[in-house]
């Protein structure tokens, strides 16, 4: 296997955790007889500083020509001016759109050894293994935006826009993924209020009727938010629109005990996938060598699985992370003392 992987270290702790994931990928490539080549590009605050934009056309073209993209994190206080016309997060939106990735997969599985690290009561965490599927290219984040001043008052508009085919493709993927899991789909919407959600529910129902072996339930987003913390084991595959998914996936991260633990994959119909930990740039700990690399390492495992088709290597890496945690490996966010590099070493040792 020869693969070109584009690296976007980004801002804050992004460069630290991406470099650790590359260490792991290099070991896997060497042992499996694969060749992984890397090219780094700027995105986020560092790109704003260098080029005046969060993602240049040239950087996007490099990403599109790759087999997969591994992202660290972007943003930080330096660029956190609400009035700024250029913001680091614009790079993420442009990258997702440019790569054509429409589905964000965020698994949230509770490791038995980390149950006490979660603020949720231990008895509610038993058997939790949720896959949250978030639509990425529609909704409020991409709809019409406007601002106008009328009689001294300022009105702002963020339109929630969806096409039926955008909804259909994310729901079809949810059913496909559920078929390889516990065969249950929870479709989350706000159909009692929003017309976009009523169309979402209609399409989900149509797909569900065509696949009666997959259990389908509809759930309002406020109920879903409550049940994610009161009975998270209820969920198998949870699928929802862009903004709801953005919020619910961060809520689900609490189940695992730390945002530093969770990976994500963003996939489209073809072309490179985008892989990143769900945590932010954590500028308060940047440069201290204490960031948890596990979310990025597990994102690399998803990269191996979904973009490179290396299922055995992906499974071995996930097993190595599980083994390291079971053996007591902990970074500071999990109550431990291991540095970023030391945590990676423990994973590599478990990899054998």
Tokens, residue 145 = 């935006």
Active site amino acids: 141, 190, 222, 246, 250
Give the E-state strand segments of 192-236 in sequence order.
215-220
Residues 321, 292: contact at Cβ < 8 Å? no
Q: How far apart are CA 215 and CA 331, in angstroms?
A: 39
Which residues are CB-neighbours of 127 under 8 A, at least 6 positions away? 233
Backbone angles phi, psi at 302, to 5 degrees: -65, -35
Distances (CA, A) of 209 to 165, 228, 259: 18, 26, 36
The neighbour count for residue 347, using CB atoms within 10 Å, is: 25
Q: Is residue 52 exposed (0-12), middle (13-18) or buried (19+ Cβ within 10 Å)?
A: exposed
Tokens, residue 215 = 């259990």
Q: Is residue 100 exposed (0-12), middle (13-18) or buried (19+ Cβ within 10 Å)?
A: middle
Place of tokens 């943003």: 75
Tokens, residue 2 = 């020869």
Q: How far is residue 66 CA from its own chain's centroid?
A: 19
Q: How far apart are CA 302 and CA 129, in angstroms?
A: 16
Length of the chain (residues):
352
Query: How many alpha carbons lie under 13 Å from residue 149 in its C-beta half-sphere?
Result: 1
Backbone angles phi, psi at 205, to 5 degrees: -65, -45
């Amino acid at each position: 296997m020869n693969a070109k992987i584009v690296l976007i270290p980004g801002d804050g702790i992004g460069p630290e955790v991406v470099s650790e994931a590359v260490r792991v990928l290099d070991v896997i490539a060497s042992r499996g007889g694969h060749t992984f080549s890397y090219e780094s590009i700027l995105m986020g605050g560092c790109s704003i500083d260098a080029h005046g934009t969060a993602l240049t056309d040239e950087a996007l073209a490099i990403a599109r020509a790759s087999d997969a993209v591994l992202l660290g994190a972007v943003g930080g206080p330096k660029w956190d001016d609400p009035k700024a016309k250029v913001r680091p997060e614009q790079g993420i939106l442009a990258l997702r759109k440019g790569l054509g990735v429409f589905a964000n997969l965020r698994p949230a599985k509770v490791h038995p050894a980390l149950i006490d690290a979660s603020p949720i009561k231990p008895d509610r965490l038993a058997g939790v293994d949720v896959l949250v599927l978030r639509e990425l290219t529609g909704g409020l984040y991409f709809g019409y935006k406007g601002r106008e001043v009328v009689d001294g008052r300022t009105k702002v508009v963020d339109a929630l826009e969806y096409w039926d085919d955008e909804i259909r493709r994310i729901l079809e993927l949810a059913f496909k993924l559920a078929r390889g899991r516990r065969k249950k789909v929870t479709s989350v919407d706000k159909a009692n209020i929003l017309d976009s959600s009523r169309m979402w529910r209609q399409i989900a129902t149509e797909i569900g009727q065509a696949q009666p072996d997959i259990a389908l339930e509809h759930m309002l987003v406020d109920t879903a938010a409550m049940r994610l913390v009161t009975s998270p084991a209820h969920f198998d595959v949870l699928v929802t629109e862009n903004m709801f998914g953005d919020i619910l996936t961060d809520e689900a991260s609490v189940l695992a005990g730390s945002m530093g633990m969770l990976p994500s994959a963003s996939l489209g119909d073809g072309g490179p996938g985008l892989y990143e930990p769900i945590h932010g740039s954590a500028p308060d700990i940047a440069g201290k060598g204490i960031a948890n690399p596990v979310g990025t390492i597990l994102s690399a495992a998803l990269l191996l699985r979904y973009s490179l088709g290396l299922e055995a290597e992906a499974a071995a890496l996930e097993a190595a992370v599980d083994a390291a945690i079971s053996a007591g490996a902990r970074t500071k966010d999990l109550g431990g003392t291991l540095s970023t590099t030391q945590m990676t070493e423990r994973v590599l040792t478990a990899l054998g």
